[in-house]
């Protein structure tokens, strides 16, 4: 019976599987093919040439990849620290008021990311809204807060806030109140309850939110360009330059494939370190 159910499930998933393969795997295959294409040749039928990957190492493009991964990691940690208290309140404390917070956060997604970041540029730039008002009211002049690494991290946290918050809310909602109450009745401190009950049982939400935030932040471009200027060059900026200004499709494709491979490897490693079947109660 179980074998029949698996076959029926696989058969039912076949149509959407074909659609996903055509929508995601086919473009990825084209990019992979372009990454081994000789320079200045726009022909997929050729002998594989790996000079673009050699260029990635020789010309120092790995530094932009390191910046992307580092900024993504830092922003993911900051997002978790910032979102956990709010997510806990939405899942366990606020009740119906949580709906108001959900609507407030979702509404921000209706506005383009670039428009929102331009708003922060106008707010934080030298002579901008904050500097202008402080200068008018308190006779102060502040240096612009833009074009540095912390403001890029702020931009990543600001843009990808919902992608960490909502999975955390779902993960924390999975933690039984009885387990927390029993631990407190047995004398456990709040920190011990957090460490031994809340975090382990909310692990699926933490994992999903962290992966979403990290993957999106690793490929982000607008934050570093608009808020960071040329202070930091991330790999997405190099990819855009290779495809547009440089017209070097093999290099752009190679950079994209390296980014995909590294992020995928980190995501798979993270998933392998968490026993989701045990956490979700699917096995003893």
Is residue 204 within 8 Å of 171, Cβ to Cβ? yes
Q: Which pLDDT score, from 0 to 100, does residue 150 have?
A: 92
Q: Which pLDDT score, from 0 to 100, does residue 284 have?
A: 47
Say what angle helices 249-272 and 51-58 make with each other, to 10 degrees: 80
Q: Which pLDDT score, from 0 to 100, does residue 282 have?
A: 55
Cα gap 30→164, rounded to integer Å: 31
Q: How far apart are the first and last CA of the chain?
A: 22
Q: Which pLDDT score, from 0 to 100, does residue 142 have?
A: 56
Q: What is the DSSP string of 148-171?
A: SHHHHHHHHHHHSHHHHHHHHHHH
Is residue 46 within 8 Å of 52, Cβ to Cβ? no
Q: Where are the domains of the chain?
A: 52-279
- Which homologous superfamily does the CATH classification assign to the domain defined by 52-279? MetI-like (1.10.3720.10)
Q: Could you read off the pLDDT tens digit of each residue along the chain, which spans 284 residues?
A: 667 677 777 788 888 888 888 888 888 888 898 888 887 666 656 677 888 899 998 888 999 999 999 999 999 999 999 999 999 999 988 888 888 889 999 998 888 898 999 988 888 887 777 766 666 665 655 556 788 899 999 999 999 999 999 999 999 998 888 888 888 888 888 888 888 888 988 888 898 899 999 999 999 999 999 898 878 899 999 999 998 888 888 999 999 999 999 999 988 887 777 666 655 555 54
Burial class (CB in 10 A: 0-12, 13-18, 19+), 254: buried
Q: What is the DSSP string of 185-229?
A: HTT--HHHHIIIIIHHHTHHHHHHHHHHHHHHHHT--HIIIIITT
């Amino acid at each position: 019976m179980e074998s029949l159910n698996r076959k029926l499930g696989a058969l039912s998933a076949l149509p959407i599987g074909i659609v996903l393969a055509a929508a995601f795997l086919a473009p990825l295959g084209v990019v992979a093919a372009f990454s081994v294409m000789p320079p200045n040749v726009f022909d997929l039928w050729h002998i594989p040439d790996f000079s673009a990957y050699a260029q990635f190492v020789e010309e120092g493009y790995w530094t932009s990849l390191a910046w992307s991964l580092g900024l993504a990691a830092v922003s993911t940690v900051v997002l978790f620290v910032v979102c956990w208290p709010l997510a806990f309140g939405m899942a366990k404390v606020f009740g119906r008021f949580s709906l108001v917070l959900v609507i407030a956060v979702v509404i921000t997604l209706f506005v383009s990311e670039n428009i929102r970041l331009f708003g922060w540029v106008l707010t934080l730039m030298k002579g901008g809204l904050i500097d202008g008002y402080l200068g008018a009211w308190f006779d102060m002049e502040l240096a612009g807060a833009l074009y540095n690494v912390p403001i890029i991290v702020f931009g990543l946290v600001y843009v990808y806030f919902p992608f960490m918050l909502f999975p955390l809310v779902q993960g924390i909602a999975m933690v039984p109140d009885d387990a927390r109450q029993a631990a407190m009745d047995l004398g456990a401190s709040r920190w011990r309850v957090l460490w031994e009950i809340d975090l382990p049982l909310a692990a699926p939400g933490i994992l999903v939110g962290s992966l979403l935030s990290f993957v999106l932040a690793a490929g982000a471009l607008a934050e570093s360009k608009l808020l960071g200027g040329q202070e930091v060059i991330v790999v997405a900026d190099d990819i855009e330059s290779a495809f547009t200004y440089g017209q070097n499709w093999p290099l752009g494709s190679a950079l994209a494939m390296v980014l995909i491979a590294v992020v995928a490897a980190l995501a798979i490693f993270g998933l392998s370190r968490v026993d989701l079947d045990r956490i979700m109660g699917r096995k003893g």
